[in-house]
Amino acid sequence: MEDDTGWSSYFSSEDAYKLDDVREALWQGDLEGQSAKYGRIFELRPVVRQ
């Protein structure tokens, strides 16, 4: 849903389905297929202090 400010806190049901598809693909380890179809994928790694 959109409002006049452009800062709406809602998203469409189509966007929700896309998020579900990406989440499922990531759980299955599909990093180059379905999950990468909708955007870039980043990996977080802990910083090791010496």
- Name the residue ranges covered by the structural domains of the chain: 10-50
pTM for the complete prediction?
A: 0.58
Per-residue pLDDT of 12-48, as tens digits, reads 888 889 889 888 888 888 888 877 888 888 889 999 8
**How many other C-beta atoms are found inside a 10 Å radius of the C-beta of residue 19?**
11
Contact 27, 15 (CB under 8 A): no
Largest CA distance in the chain: 50
Q: What is the pLDDT of residue 46?
A: 92
H or E element at residue 36:
helix 34-37
